[in-house]
Amino acid sequence: KAGVTQTPRYLIKTRGQQVTLSCSPISGHRSVSWYQQTPGQGLQFLFEYFSETQRNKGNFPGRFSGRQFSNSRSEMNVSTLELGDSALYLCASSLRLESNYGYTFGSGTRLTVV
């Protein structure tokens, strides 16, 4: 059974650019959550999608957005990149929305903004 797949694994972007990250959940999982991980702040919740709708949102500016497709795949977009957006972006999937049975994480996309 394939795990959560995130692409690309590494990305280098210039300040001011925009970026799109992709996440394919485990087959059958309908919920996809996104987290930003930095050494200083740890894992910070960005948003959770279920059935193509954003159901929960963390405290991030509007430059961070996402969407989910009918096949449950999800994309995350960050516009007008800032140096502070450099981080590991993790996607996690679960069967249900706000699952209490834990999430399965992908290996992440390492974004570096220069």
Partner 1 sequence: GQQLNQSPQSMFIQEGEDVSMNCTSSSIFNTWLWYKQEPGEGPVLLIALYKAGELTSNGRLTAQFGITRKDSFLNISASIPSDVGIYFCAGRINYGGSQGNLIFGKGTKLSVKP
Interface stretch with partner 1, choices 13-21, 64-72, 75-83, 106-114 (CB under 8 A): 106-114
Tell how far CA 19 is from the center of its chain: 12
Q: What track of x and - describes contact with partner 1 for positions 8 through 47 (by CB under 8 A)?
A: -------------------------x-x------xx-x--
| Tokens representing residue 91 in the block | 């996607």
Greatest CA separation for the chain:
38
Nearest alpha carbon to residue 103 among 51, 39, 54, 30: 30
Note the residues at the interface with partner 1 (CB under 8 A): 4, 33, 35, 42-43, 45, 48, 56, 58-59, 90, 92, 98, 100-108
